[in-house]
Amino acid sequence: MTKKLAGKVALISGSGRGIGQAIALKLAAEGARVVVNDLDAGPANDIAARIRQAGGEAAVCTGDVAAADFGERFVKTALERFGGLDIIVNNAGFTWDSVIQKMSDEQWQTILDVHLTAPFRILRAASEPIRIAAKKEKEEGRAVHRKVVNVSSISGLFGNAGQVNYSAAKSALIGMTRTLAKEWGRYNVNVNCVAFGYIKTRMTQELSKDQVKPTTIEVAGRELPVGIQPEMIKAMERMIPLGRGGTPEEAADAVYLFCTPESNYISGQVVLASGGLFL
């Protein structure tokens, strides 16, 4: 069977864990050479090793996507290791929730930096290599389609109480998607967005019923609470027409759709991967 992404080079931010990990494994299984990213070297190296063990190719670019130099480093890794760039998936992120009257400037800015400024810098860094490649391909009489998939959220489409920072960033990312689709169409780049609903990851893990303190994860030196109360999960799943939350693999499948040749005439679109939930 022909692998649909054979020969393609894919950048996937936040691909050491969760949804990003599933995306990296999915695209690699379809033949893409993947640049894996995570804050920590351990998870990133583990996923790269899994890809190589399965017969694929992978490189690693660790670090905080919100760092000022990250976008340039990320793109440079793809160009130096694999000689090109075909797919960009802006997936990295986390939440730091609070109602607006309790939200600090740091909370607000940190989430905007990760979910909005980081994708902007990655795409800006990729713009010149893509322009040069597209110009050369046009002169040679070839049409090569490249793909950008930005990861948004149902919160970015409809808002969510306690997530004014996250909802604002994810909503703005949709605007970035539609604008870049217009700017990069002349380079044969399809720019689309997948907005996730409730996907079961460590960020949305079910808390035990007798758990007094929330589970936390460390992100850039901060201990942030994660997890959802069982009652809230049950309430959400009752609202989802398919009756359950999605898996990381199902989330990855939605991103994969926008990476395939079948999406070559689709651009500037947002697909809601939520099991049919519309808030």
Mean pLDDT of the chain: 93
Q: Bridge-partner residues for 206, per DSSP?
A: 228
> Under CATH, to which class is 9-197+247-273 assigned?
alpha beta
**Does residue 20 carry a pLDDT above 90?**
yes
pLDDT tens across 87-117, in order? 999 999 999 999 999 999 999 999 999 999 9
pLDDT range class, residue 166, cuts 50, 70, 90: very high
The per-residue pLDDT for 71 is 98
Sort strands 146-153 and 87-90 into parallel, antiparallel or unpaired.
Answer: parallel
Please count the other Cβ atoms lying within 10 Å of the Cβ belonging to residue 207: 19
**Does residue 152 carry a pLDDT above 90?**
yes
DSSP per residue, 129-182: HHHHHHHHHHHTT----EEEEEEEEHHHHH--TTBHHHHHHHHHHHHHHHHHHH
Angular region, 87: left φ>0, alpha ψ -120 to 50, beta rest: beta
Q: At residue 17, what is the residue type?
A: R
The per-residue pLDDT for 209 is 62
**Does residue 205 carry a pLDDT above 70?**
no
Single pTM value for the model? 0.93
Q: At residue 58, what is the residue type?
A: A
pLDDT tens across 213-265, in order? 667 766 767 777 766 667 777 888 899 999 999 999 999 999 999 999 999 99
Average pLDDT over residues 5-31: 97
**Does residue 45 carry a pLDDT above 60?**
yes
Strand stretches in the chain, DSSP E: 9-12, 33-36, 58-60, 87-90, 146-153, 189-196, 215-219, 222-226, 270-273
Where are the domains positioned within the chain?
Answer: 9-197+247-273
The per-residue pLDDT for 237 is 87
Sort strands 146-153 and 189-196 into parallel, antiparallel or unpaired.
Answer: parallel
Residue 198 known to be catalytic: no
Among candidate residues 166, 187, 198, 256, the one labeled active-site is 166
Average pLDDT over residues 177-193: 98
Inter-residue contact 8 to 32 (CB < 8 Å): yes
